[in-house]
Amino acid sequence: MTISTNHRHAQSQDQVCMALASSDDPCEVVEEAIPALVIGDLTRPDEAAISEHCETCSSCADMLSTWESGLAAPEPPDPSSCPTPAQALGLRAGHYGLMESPLGDLMIVVTEDGVADVGYLANHDREAQFCELEHRGILASERPSAVAPVRDQLQEYFAHERTNFTLPVDLFGVTPFTRSVLEATVAVPFGEVRTYQAIAGAIGKPTASRAVGNALGRNPVPVIVPCHRVVRADGSMGWYTGGPHIKEHLLEIEGVTWAAHNRAQPTLPGIG
Amino acid sequence: MALSPTRPGDPIPATGARISFTSLVELHGQDLYRFAWSLTRSPHDADDVYQETLLKAFRAWSKLPPDANHRAWLFRIASNTWISDRRKMGRVHQFGMDQPDMPSGETDTATQVVASETLEHVTVAIEALPPKQRTALVLRKYHDMSYEEIGEVLDSTPEAARANVYAALQKLRSQFATALVN
């Protein structure tokens, strides 16, 4: 006896039912159909017909039971023994979570070393941010609880209840020049601004103000690393990854205001 | 604060769009590990196949056409990795019709066959299936894949995928029959 392979139309034809109706040996029909049953290739009426037959036929019931046991899914190992994708790839593991903010939705990524990324979802979709993280050698998985401390401090900042962040920052995968620019930027206090040129001077490269601007444009941790506090020497705000309206909003939170009628001439306390 | 799934970046399509490797792994990583486990039935070998598959996929990800079936592509890498690893380990003799460890109808002591032995025989029989047949059976039975998708994994037509599944069942049938006749 061979297993029928002509079940390809089984979903529209109840072949077992039809065969049972015309056969003198129902066991032969059922035995032949059981393998197709256990891999899910039969129609519901066919499945029901086999079940009904097996209720009164112990040998067919035994055969069905043996097939089902024999093809039962192997018990998987303890899931915790499975290497994480980041481990498998030799990448740094991160966890991400989302939050709503006055600046729009944010995606926060943390590693065991600190905050690795804060992304404006209004400007970059999540996939683009994941790709940037992969480029830095970080593979993130969703775990909202892991980003809770970051989310809490950001919420306090947006609510004017916090003036500095007490969070470690992970600049893994960031180039050394950009890292030096970001480290100098972290030193700019709340409510003050510095020029690109001043940051360039602070890192010992006074002529590199344009490169400083580019580096700040690649700041993976905006708000927490306050690139919004770096402005042009002519007093205008300069470019910002999330858009100039976000930079203005952040500076307003910190009490730095731009006159509505002349955004190129802001009131700049502590410009350096 | 939970965001609705209709926010930017969601939903992540399974095919038809360029997604990050991060999302690919998030979507299919667990399924891939389960597949590696189903094929190898060994935690150590499953880890090896899983890790090797991820590494190969990570390197090749940017070259994959956006409209490819991501899951089938990952599973194809895993299946090929598993077959290749087995060959390297010298287990190739277990493939095909040459199955020296298989019990046969002639040599079995009929009345001594019990249910647990039957299952053992079936496990041996599954492990001795030719790789394409075993892969096809695993995908159909444990991953509920359509024959179209199994064909994508095996790089064959849906008809060939179905033929592989039924050839596997035919081989297993002889094992069940041996036990049940007794």
C-beta of residue B41 within 8 angstroms of C-beta of residue B82: no
Enter the CATH code of domain B20-90. 1.10.1740.10
- The confidence score (pLDDT) of residue A261 equals 36
Residue by residue, DSSP assigns A52-114 as HHHHH-HHHHHHHHHHHHHTSPPPPPPGGGSPPHHHHHTPEEEEEEEE--TTS-EEEEEETTE
Q: For tokens 């790789």, name the residue.
A: B131
- The confidence score (pLDDT) of residue A258 equals 65
Cβ contacts from A onto B, under 8 A: 127
* pLDDT tens, residue by residue, B77-134: 999 999 998 887 765 444 433 333 334 444 444 434 455 666 677 778 888 899 999 9
B64: left (phi over 0), alpha (psi -120 to 50) or beta: beta
- The confidence score (pLDDT) of residue A217 equals 92
DSSP-derived letter for residue A141 is: E
Q: Where in chain B is the domain with CATH 1.10.1740.10?
A: 20-90
Q: Which residues pair with A95 in a beta bridge?
A: A110, A141
CB contacts under 8 A, B 63-82 vs A, are none
> Are the Cβ atoms of A139 and B50 closer than 8 angstroms?
no
Q: Which residues pair with A111 in a beta bridge?
A: A114
Residue of A3, A8, A73 lying closest to B169 (CB–CB): A3
Q: For tokens 């915790």, name the residue.
A: A80
Q: Residue A10 class from Cβ within 10 Å (0-12 exposed, 13-18 middle, 19+ buried)? A: middle
Enter the CATH code of domain A174-272. 1.10.10.10
C-beta of residue A221 within 8 angstroms of C-beta of residue A118: yes
- The confidence score (pLDDT) of residue B178 equals 66
- The confidence score (pLDDT) of residue B144 equals 92
Q: Is residue B146 less than 8 Å (CB to CB) from chain A?
A: no
> What ipTM goes with this model?
0.75
Q: For tokens 């129609």, name the residue.
A: A43
Mean pLDDT of chain B: 78
Domain ranges of chain A: 15-70, 90-166, 174-272
Q: Among B177, A236, A235, A214, which Cα is nearest to A227's? A: A214
User: Phi, psi at residue B65, to the nearest 5°?
Assistant: -60, 140
* pLDDT tens, residue by residue, B24-82: 999 999 899 999 999 998 888 999 999 999 999 999 998 888 788 999 999 999 999 99
Residue of B22, B37, B81 best to disrupt the A interface, most CBs of A under 10 A: B22
Enter the CATH code of domain A90-166. 3.30.160.70
- The confidence score (pLDDT) of residue A73 equals 81
Q: Where in chain B is the domain with CATH 1.10.10.10?
A: 98-182
- The confidence score (pLDDT) of residue A6 equals 45
Q: Is residue B41 less than 8 Å (CB to CB) from chain A?
A: yes
* Mean pLDDT (10-residue bins), chain A, 272 residues: 46 80 90 92 93 92 87 76 85 95 95 96 84 94 96 97 96 96 96 94 95 94 95 83 87 80 46 43
Q: Among B64, B56, B121, which Cα is nearest to B82's? A: B56
C-beta of residue A209 within 8 angstroms of C-beta of residue A195: yes
* pLDDT tens, residue by residue, B3-32: 333 333 344 444 445 789 999 999 999 899
Q: Among B124, B103, B97, which Cα is nearest to B181's? A: B103
- The whole-angstrom distance between A258's CA and the closest CA on chain B is 31
- The confidence score (pLDDT) of residue B112 equals 43
- The confidence score (pLDDT) of residue A259 equals 54
Q: B143-146: list long-range contacts, CB under 8 Å, 24+ apart.
A: B143/B31, B143/B34, B143/B35, B143/B38, B143/B75, B144/A40
> Are the Cβ atoms of A127 and B12 closer than 8 angstroms?
yes
Q: A257-261: list long-range contacts, CB under 8 Å, 24+ apart.
A: none
Q: For tokens 């209004």, name the residue.
A: A122
Name the CATH topology of B98-182: Arc Repressor Mutant, subunit A (1.10.10)
